Amino acid sequence: MSIFIRGGTVVNADRAFKADVVCFGDKIIAVGDHLDVPAHATVIDASGQYIMPGGIDTHTHMQLPFMGTVAADDFFDGTAAGLAGGTTTIMDFVIPDPKQSLLEAYHMWRGWAAKSAGDYTFHVAVTWWGDSVHADMGTLVRDHGVNSFKHFMAYKNAIMADDETLVRSFTRALELGAIPTVHAENGELVYQLQQDLLKQGIRGPAAHPLSRPPEVEAEAANRAIAIANVLGTPVYIVHVSCAEALEAIVRARAKGQRVYGEALAGHLVIDDSVYQSADLEYARAHVMSPPFRAKHHQAALWQGLRGGNLHTTGTDHCTFCAEQKAAGANDFTRIPNGCGGVEERMAVVWDAGVNTGLLTPSEFVRVTSTNAAQIFNMYPRKGIVGAGADADLVVWDPQGTRTISAATQFSNSGFNVFEGRTVRGIPSHTLAAGKVVFERGQLRAVEGAGRHIDRPAFTSTRAA
């Protein structure tokens, strides 16, 4: 029942300090110097290592039905892979079909997620508007621990939210004390650019980034921010991939608007040269939206994370195997959009961020865990190594190395966008809800051990 983590350096968002950590049941019960070892405790030697809050991946899509198929990693595969990489909580998305009841979709996703090995919580997408959506949003916030609603500004003729939906849903979210989030790409422009490329006979995966240039993302980011500004709501922009969208956030924040931004591990280190490969299966495997960008955008994203204009890191983990991606072999618009990363995010951000001096260890904790817990109201249950918090911890070996490969990953997709990258800084142990679930390469994920995390509404200035 007790775990004693001895002699590591605890890293929280505000400071790092030498301490022992004691867990009992699913909670941390003490953090301090030279603590007594409880009787019968399991002891983990953390000397020379960091003890950090378990990672929170703000953006995953396990088992997502999307573009005519279903994402390859289900909630067990995906959360287990996350635990192997030090991520103990995922924030996934309920995405109702247009005209489907939000509540019905929510219960469907809750059913799928029951097999999760790590903790999970849901953003709920608003893909259409009607009286029942207004009512369901209230029920989700009041009775089901949902405090964030997602809006896809892209994917025309599927799940795209038009401006009326954005305005009505942002307004409702404000009433309820929930935060609106957006996938910022102008779906009409994407659609027109896709049709133009197809008419010109440009059908391969290299056309994907041409149909979604940075300006398309920037337009939508600016529009979402402007709508939020007029309505007085905060807004969270998912997967910010380019300097132009980041600039929209920087401008708004400089004027005092409450705008938050998320970066993906993939966008931070992978560039758009992947789409030029003569190996079309390889190029298709990298098709996601927004696409990987020209290299100079990476420096902007790192600057955003360090400077506090981007707040969280996610992965958009949404894996499809080669056969699924082949559905778009003759038409890039039919390639299921999505890539993996839940297992690699922490190590990739550490290696490319902390080892290079771009981030301090505390800044790393902030952008991999604490900010997510605070923005989405899970703090201090999550996001901190402190007495009373969930015993979700990663013991981080800063000298340990791993060469990332699909051949050795726990994820189910058979492909890895970080293939061949050697990272220094990996988890030696992951604890989830007070259990050691990963120990030096051995994964002990238990199906169904993950819990749904309720996220209460924020204090609202208006009546619901």
Binding site for ligand URP (CB under 6 A): 61, 183, 288-289, 316, 318, 337-338
In whole angstroms, the minimum distance from the beta carbon of 95 to ligand URP comes to 8
Instruction: Return the one option of Zn ion, ligand URP, none that residue 381 interacts with (CB less than 5 to 8 A, by type).
Output: none
Please identify the residue of the shown chain whose CB is closest to the bound Zn ion. 183
Residue 123 vs 421, nearer CB to ligand URP:
123
Interface with Zn ion includes 185 (CB under 5 A)? no
Residue 20 vs 73, nearer CB to Zn ion:
73
Instruction: Return the one option of Zn ion, ligand URP, none that residue 337 interacts with (CB less than 5 to 8 A, by type).
Output: ligand URP
In whole angstroms, the minimum distance from the beta carbon of 190 to Zn ion comes to 12
Residue 61 vs 325, nearer CB to ligand URP:
61
290 touches 242 (CB < 8 A): yes
Letters for 296-335 (x = contact with Zn ion by CB under 5 A, - = none) are --------------------x-------------------
In whole angstroms, the minimum distance from the beta carbon of 125 to ligand URP comes to 10
In whole angstroms, the minimum distance from the beta carbon of 36 to ligand URP comes to 47
288 touches 339 (CB < 8 A): yes
Please identify the residue of the shown chain whose CB is closest to the bound ligand URP. 337
In whole angstroms, the minimum distance from the beta carbon of 316 to ligand URP comes to 4
Among 144, 183, 293, 435, binds Zn ion (CB under 5 A): 183
Interface with Zn ion includes 262 (CB under 5 A)? no
In whole angstroms, the minimum distance from the beta carbon of 400 to ligand URP comes to 30
- Smallest CA-to-CA distance from 289 within 332, 337, 245 is with 337
- Number of residues engaging Zn ion in binding (CB under 5 A): 2
Residue 341 vs 361, nearer CB to Zn ion:
341
Stretch near Zn ion under the rule CB under 5 A, chosen from 98-106, 175-183, 200-208, 324-332: 175-183
Instruction: Return the one option of ligand URP, Zn ion, none that residue 338 interacts with (CB less than 5 to 8 A, by type).
Output: ligand URP
